[in-house]
Structures are given as structure tokens and as C-alpha cells.
Structure 1
Amino acid sequence: MNRWRPASRTITRSFSSLRGNVSNTTTHQQQRLKFPTTTTKTASAHNVMTTRSISWKGLFSPSKKNASYDSTFEQSNRIKLSPDNLFHKLSKSPLPELRDRAAIINKYGVCAVCDTHENHDHKKAPVYECPDCGYPTHCSEEHYHEGYQAHQEICHILREQNEDDHDLRSGRPMTEFEFPTTQGFDETVNMANWDVFFYTRSFPSMDSDRSMRHVSKLLTYPITVASILHESCPYQLGKEITTEGMRSISENYLCLQRNVIFGLALRTVLYPRNEVAKDGVTLIRSETINVYVVGARAEASLPQYIWLQLAYLFPHTPFHIHFIGPDTLPAGKESYTESLNERLMFTYDNSLYHDYHEKIDKFDPYTDLFFLFSPGIGHATAREGWKMSIEKALETKCPIFITGYDKADVETDIEAVEQDYQGEFDWVLNPTENQFSSLKRDVNLMDIRQTINANWGIWGIRGKRYDVTHQPEDDDE
């Protein structure tokens, strides 16, 4: 079975009915691989295909030039589903997007019972929809009953996904997407986890787990970045954060006392002293933080104002987000750079990173860092293609943070990095569960037994640096 990597442009899920409902104001190896125990189990969750199947393009800003789309949108926007009417079999859904999803599963999916047969001629498409989750799961009612017990492991997950997707398009006011704007200087944000972050950042009250899932899926990328940089980050020195990780930002003793994260040099830039210009009023901005998102896919498709939630947490600091990779832009679109405001700039480039690397004059570990969101470095089909880019990123000596969508995915990537770059890197952040992963599961439409959480785990490395020592005898020469 192939490995599925979510969030490519191959099968786009349309969330167009959200348009208008969202406010835009809005050490050791064994120790490193020791993860907290997880309670959710899915069948073959880490055996997935080589492309990811979700894109945010058109999520909030679809083209107004497409008249047929506008007509569909207006019709969809009139549909009202009450909270007690969110479950429908996909093929019978009142929403065309979800009927299309059923058709995709019918055409490309696999019957879980047929899949156990060695003879491919006996394998049939899943056309029978489970009455409990509403997804096409088997080729017939007979096979459904035969595979009933195995299906129960994921049935509740698919039911949840079914209701969540109908809720997103129900036509109700999506108040959970009315994000807060500028953070007050007298407000303190706690990044311990989603619950505490939402509360201390004054997000709208999350009245249900469903609202938490909706918002976490949208914010997992910018807030994962923010959690690594923030002074109240959820990871502790000596546990997740390594000594080298702490050194990579500063030798600030106060930060050591507070158990905050590596890269304290970055912290020095992110939390500057309040210095004013000659007029005695204007605060002097700190240096720009460059975030290189390598292998960008879904994260590059997010509306730019969603990334404002990162900028709001660091009011003194300008950010330049570089989205780099062949899936960053639609085919044929030219690379470009634009600013959302004076503190948030974006670059979109379809180049492979090792080519883009040559365009940058210099890198500074005090202001630059890398993020690779579920890159699949260890996948057999991708491993060789990543080598040159990883080598170039390690050369910069800047922190590199990598996420994975489950424990097996993280461990596969770590194994590949340790084999391919042995002795070339230091650990910055030991592998751990990401406190800001998406709480909403993505379903592989080509095999619905496979579900994942975006950015489930996170770890960090940095190109090895060597300390230079002074020898007194050198002075005599």
C-alpha cells in the first residue's frame, strides 16, 4: 500500500460555503523517540499515498469571475442545516461538495473486505454507505456486515468528519472564525495548548469540540510557528528542548530560569527592549524574522490574514514568510512577493529549496528559521529528492523544525535524517507531540481507513556548529 501525504492539489476539497462567514479582522536516541501514549487508533494510518489531498485555495476567496461558481455558491449559501440535521449519507447529502466526495470514493476508493483478497479481479469499488458514518465503505451490504467489526475502529471518526463537514456548510454564522486582532500590551498570552491559548488570546468562546476542530485545522500552521517562538512556549528545557537548542538563540540566564525554548537569540529579536525613535513616541521595530516554509502546500494556500495571528503575538517584530516548493503555486503562475501590512510580508516561489537558497544573500541564525510541515523526508519516493534541500538548510546553521502527521511518520523522517546526515546536525527539539496540531482528522478518500492529524508531532535540528577555542601559544607566533 502506498503512503498518502495529505494536502496536495490533486483532490481539492471545496470549502467555498464558508465565504462571507469568516471575519478577516481577525540524549539519546531512545529518549528522542519516546512519545506520549495516544489513545486514538486507526487502521494503517501511516500507510498512505505520495500526494496529499487537501488545499486551501478558494477556501475564503474564490474567484468572482466564474459565473457558474457564483450561482453554485449562492445556492449553497441558502442551504440551512440545523444542528440536529448534520448527518447525511454522502451520496444523499444536500451539499454538492459532499456528493462529489462520495463520487470520488466510489471511483478511486477501496472496499475494506475486497482489499484482503489477493486476486485483484475480485476487488470492487466501495458503493455501499455505512448507515452509521455515511461514508461509502464496502462494495456491498454483505461485505459491510463481514467487515463490520474492523470498521468500528474508524466509524466514529468518519461520523465526526461527516457532521463537521456538513456543519461548515450549514449556513450558520461561523462565530468561531471571528478571530481577535491586535493584542493589547497589557495582555499575556499562554501557549500551553489550544484551550489556554484561545482563552488568554480572547478568541470567541468555543462552545463545542466541533468549533475547536474547525479553528485548530485553520490555525495549526501559524500557531505551530508561534508556539516555537513564543516566550511561553509549551516545551521545556531538559525535556523537549535540548541544551544545543537553548544555545541556538542566546545565553540569556533569565530565559533559562523560565524554561523557555531554544533559539533565545531569536527571542532577543522577538522581545526587544522598548526603544523609541527621536520623536520620543514611535517604537523602533526589531529586525525582520524570516520563516522559510519549505515544501509548502496547504499552508501556502491559507488566506494571508490567517497568518496575522502569528504577527499579532509579536507586535514589535516584522515577519517575512517564504513559501517554497513545487506545490506552492498553481502550475504556470509566476513567483511573487507581497506585503499584507508593514509587519507581514509573503514570498511564494515554486522553486525547489536548494535552487531558492542561492537567491538569498545570507542567513542569520538570530533571525531566520525553517519549517517543514509533514514533508515525508523518509518516504521512499521522496527521500532522494529532499537531500539537496536538507543539506542547504543545514548549511545555514538556522533552526529547522519538522512536523509529522502521526508517530510512524515522525519516526520514519527521523530515521532518514539520522542515516543521511549523521554527524552533520545537532538536536534542537526532541520529538514530541505538537500542542497545536489540528484536532480535526483528514480522511484519505482513496482509502478511508486512513486518517491523520495535520502537524501531530514536531521535532527540530540545526546544522552542527563547532566552537572555536583560543590557544595562548598562538599569540607567540
Structure 2
Amino acid sequence: MNRGVKQFITTSRNLLCSQTRRTSACLISVKSLPKISNGAVAAQKRFLTQSVVRPISFKGIFGGKNEEPENKLFLEQDNLFHVLSNSPLPEMKDRAAIVNKYGVCPVCDTHLEKQETKKRPTYDCPDCGYPTHCSEDHYKQGYQAHHAENCAILREINEDDHDLRSGRPMREFEFPSAQGFDEAVNMANWDVFFYTRSFPSMDSDRSMRHVSKLLTYPMSIAAVLHQSSPYKYGEQVTAEGMRSIAALRTVLYPHNQVSNDAQSQVRTDTINIYLLGARAESTLPSHIWLQLAYLFPATPFHIHFIGPDALAPNQEPHSESVNERLFFTYDNSMYHDYHETIEKFDPYTDLFFLFSPGIGYPDARQGWKTSLEKALETKCPIFVTGYDEADMKNDVEAVEQDYNGEFDWILKPSVNEFRSLKRDVNLMDLRQTIFANYGIWGIRGKRYDVTHDPENNE
């Protein structure tokens, strides 16, 4: 990864979040971003999955007394669309300024030679509200070819982001607490999960988008581990995958319960989840990760956030606990260094997750090599997400080339049922939008069966 991209990721830690009642959704505003070379387009797109999520107010959600004063309602629900540069919210004006300074006019980008001066987008599209072209002439000239398909998507993003800052009570973020022992959760998809888990009624697609963006990381993990997983043996899950997942489930679903009361169950061994190359997932409020723990009431979890971007620049590696069943460790080491600090690994209790790691891109491929070799040595399952089908394919091809014969497939590349439903947009090129954790796949270090050959062995 080149210096410009590293600088870009580091600067992302300075994203600002404005206060909105009862929500932990990310409200992004950046004062300045460094320039990135033309050779880092793929890394720019990957930044879309690195949006920093900071807590705003959880007191009302999790039972504590909310002593904060009522936030003022800034925008009514029928007044959510605004041209960004004229938005009543400073954060959205900042977003327009970023596009003005670092964005791309698609007509200039397509038709001008490299040596010609390309102008920045300063003309605001009246339909989506984003500055999309350098002039009205280029807007009209390139609308059908470069913007028509993306215009409705950008308008949706515009309204969603204004809604998050509108000041309305965010009822969709009033998450449920511990699951009743007699209530079964179904992880078939977001709709079924919200219903069976007793989330507040999602009365709009916008609410679904808000909540899925926040929960995509813990629920992508839960969907693989849960007994009602949407990934089925013989379809997405391979025979080796079923062995790995079954081993984990023997710990997650103990049979020696002393009673039917979930609070009285015998505590199992701790499940260790190693999140390699952690970025956005390491900035989630701890209460969001509790939603993972609630699904497995007998099991303690220790989540390890590992990677250069797992901590803010001024933070030191540390561990902390939310309660007796949820522990966190944050470390900005490379995984192959962190690996040496772990005494042992157990396929019954340990697994790895890599959220949109970009293994297949030249700038990152060599950097991942040692870490992936260490993870494969453990024989524990490794799950990887990607931000679109091409991204998954790129990573899969790199792994197949670099580790041929060293791994078994456990989960075939599939659409992630718990991907974010809210699109992220690259402010440096509005033509690029993605869904965080769009796809998922999994592998495990190859196991070799010992065979007994009496004719050749004395």
C-alpha cells in the first residue's frame, strides 16, 4: 500500500460525528484529505468500507437514564433533500467541499488527455444534490453516460445522511437486550432476524439501511456461527466447512445446561474472534458487539482487533471488558507479530475474520502473505468479506495462487445475507458506490489425514 493510501486511511480517523438522539450511526465530516496517486484507485474504493463509526448516545437504548437534553429537530421527514453545498447542516457542506477539492469530473476524466488540466466538480446536480461535474455544460454533456444511473443512488445517500442528522428520535436504534431462553432467533436474512430478535418495527427501507450499516460486522460473524445460519451444507458450506463450524457449535451450544433459564446455563469456553486488518469494526461502540453475544447466551467472547488501523494514532494497545461475557483486545501490530503472543489455537474455540482486506491488490498482497500463512497454520476457520463480486474474485484468485494446496474451502464465495443495505460513496469519485461486506467466503489451513498402511509400515 503506497504512502498516499496509508495517509488517506490515517486521516479517516479524524472523521467527525455530530450528535443525534439515540443513534450510533456514523455521521461523517472531514476537514481535509490527502491526495492519492492515480495508481491507488482500488485502494480508494476500499476506503469506502473503512468509514469510522463512533458512539453518539446509548444511554437510552440500553436502559440507562438519558440525562442529555432533548436534541433539537433540525429537519422534518419531508425536508430531507438538500443540495449539499446549501445544506442547513455544516457536516453536509463539508462533504460537498471534499468533493469540490478532491473529486473527479467524469467528462474531464473520460475525454481529456492525461496532460490536459482536469477541473474539479463544482456544479451541483439538482436531482441528487452532489457536485458531480466541473460545469453545467459538462453536466448536460455527460449526464446520460456518466451520471444518470448513479443519480438516484446519490440522492438516496443524500437523504439518508440528512436523516441521521435530522434530530428525530431514532427509534430503530433502540436495540433489544438479552434474548429470552424460550425465543428462537432465525438468521435467514435481515427481515427475519429483526422480527425474531424483537427489534423495533422497521417501518421504512431507510431504517433498514441505517441499522444494517451499524450491525453488518457482528451479524456477518453471527450468521456463520448460528445454528439457523443462512449458509447451508451442500450449497455454500463444504464438507470441511461443516466440520469446522460443527466444532465451534459444540462450544456455542452446550448440551449440559443446568436449567432452561438462559441466565443459568453453564458457561462454556471462550470463543476467540481474531479480526485481522481491523478498521471500521474496531470503532464500533461496544454495545453493538453485545448483539453478537446475546445470540449465544452461554458463551463468552473475546474479540481481538488487530492491525495498523485498529487504534487511533494516539492510542496504545489495550484490553477491556464490557461484561463477564464480552472482552476486547485492541492491538495495532501486524497479525504475524501478534500471532506469536498467543499460546495456542484451538479450532473448537478460535476463528478469523477479515473484512474487505484487499488481499488481491498489488499494494497489499505481499503485506498479507506472512499473516495469512500464520493464520492457515492454526487450522482454524478464516472468513473473508468483499465489497462486491469483483473484489471477492480478486481476493480469491490471489489466495488460490499464493497458497495453492495449503487450504481447504469451507464456505464458497456467496452473497452475504447480512451485508450493509446502505451504500457508501467514494467522495473522491462519485461513480463508485459499494455495500460494506457485500460477499463472504471462507477457508481453513489444510488438514492431512494419517492413514495406516500395514504392508509398508512395520
Normalised TM-score (structure 1)? 0.85
1:304 corresponds to which of 263, 271, 286: 286
**CA distances 1:375-420 after superposition (whole Å, capped 9, x unpaired):** 0000111101000000000000000000000000000000000000
Taking structure 1 as reference, are residues 239 and 199 closer, same or farther at Cα in structure 2, changes over 3 Å only?
A: same
1:209 corresponds to which of 180, 205, 220: 205
Letter in 1 for 2:203: D
Inter-partner Cα distance in structure 2 for 1:343 and 1:303: 16
Inter-partner Cα distance in structure 2 for 1:61 and 1:350: 27
Q: Which residue matches 1:31?
A: none
Report SS of the residue matched to 1:268: helix
Report SS of the residue matched to 1:146: helix
Q: Which residue matches 1:32?
A: none
Report SS of the residue matched to 2:302: strand
Q: Which residue matches 1:135?
A: 130
Q: Which residue matches 1:105?
A: 99
Query: For the Cα contact (< 8 Å) 1:15–1:169, is it kept in 2?
Result: no
Tell me whether 1:180 sits opposite 2:176 in the alignment.
yes
Inter-partner Cα distance in structure 2 for 1:231 and 1:392: 29
Q: Which residue matches 1:56?
A: 52
Inter-partner Cα distance in structure 2 for 1:467 and 1:381: 36
Letter in 1 for 2:208: M
Tell me whether 1:397 sits opposite 2:379 in the alignment.
yes
Query: For the Cα contact (< 8 Å) 1:191–1:227, is it kept in 2?
Result: yes
Tell me whether 1:125 sits opposite 2:126 in the alignment.
no
For residue 436 of structure 1, report the CA deviation from its aligned partner.
0.2
Query: For the Cα contact (< 8 Å) 1:4–1:50, is it kept in 2?
Result: no
For residue 23 of structure 1, report the CA deviation from its aligned partner.
8.3
Q: Which residue matches 1:269?
A: 251
Tell me whether 1:192 sits opposite 2:191 in the alignment.
no
2:225 corresponds to which of 229, 245, 253: 229
For residue 236 of structure 1, report the CA deviation from its aligned partner.
1.0
Tell me whether 1:410 sits opposite 2:392 in the alignment.
yes
1:428 corresponds to which of 410, 413, 435: 410
Taking structure 1 as reference, are residues 51 and 332 closer, same or farther at Cα in structure 2, changes over 3 Å only?
A: farther
Query: For the Cα contact (< 8 Å) 1:286–1:317, is it kept in 2?
Result: yes
Inter-partner Cα distance in structure 1 for 2:366 and 2:288: 33
Inter-partner Cα distance in structure 2 for 1:459 and 1:432: 6
**CA distances 1:26-64 after superposition (whole Å, capped 9, x unpaired):** xxxxxxxxxxxxxxxxxxxx95527615443534269xx
Q: Which residue matches 1:442?
A: 424
Letter in 2 for 1:21: R
Letter in 2 for 1:319: F
**CA distances 1:236-276 after superposition (whole Å, capped 9, x unpaired):** 1111000111122xxxxxxxxxxxxxx10101100001433
For residue 343 of structure 1, report the CA deviation from its aligned partner.
0.3
- Trace 1:267-416 onto structure 2 (pairs within 5 A): 267-276=249-258, 282-416=264-398
Percent identity of paired positions between Structure 1 and Structure 2: 68
2:17 corresponds to which of 15, 19, 41: 15
Inter-partner Cα distance in structure 1 for 2:398 and 2:376: 15
Inter-partner Cα distance in structure 2 for 1:13 and 1:159: 22
For residue 472 of structure 1, report the CA deviation from its aligned partner.
4.3
For residue 21 of structure 1, report the CA deviation from its aligned partner.
1.7
Report SS of the residue matched to 2:297: coil
**CA distances 1:172-201 after superposition (whole Å, capped 9, x unpaired):** 000000000000010011100000000000
Query: For the Cα contact (< 8 Å) 2:96–2:131, is it kept in 1?
Result: yes
Query: For the Cα contact (< 8 Å) 2:271–2:301, is it kept in 1?
Result: yes
Inter-partner Cα distance in structure 1 for 2:51 and 2:311: 11
Tell me the C-alpha RMSD between the 2 structures: 2.4
Query: For the Cα contact (< 8 Å) 2:75–2:163, is it kept in 1?
Result: yes
Query: For the Cα contact (< 8 Å) 2:22–2:57, is it kept in 1?
Result: no
Inter-partner Cα distance in structure 2 for 1:126 and 1:267: 52
Tell me whether 1:456 sits opposite 2:451 in the alignment.
no
**CA distances 1:133-155 after superposition (whole Å, capped 9, x unpaired):** 00010000000000110201100
Query: For the Cα contact (< 8 Å) 2:24–2:55, is it kept in 1?
Result: no
Taking structure 1 as reference, are residues 85 and 457 closer, same or farther at Cα in structure 2, changes over 3 Å only?
A: same
Unaligned runs of 5+ in 1: 25-45, 63-72, 249-262
Normalised TM-score (structure 2)? 0.88
Report SS of the residue matched to 1:231: coil
Letter in 1 for 2:72: R
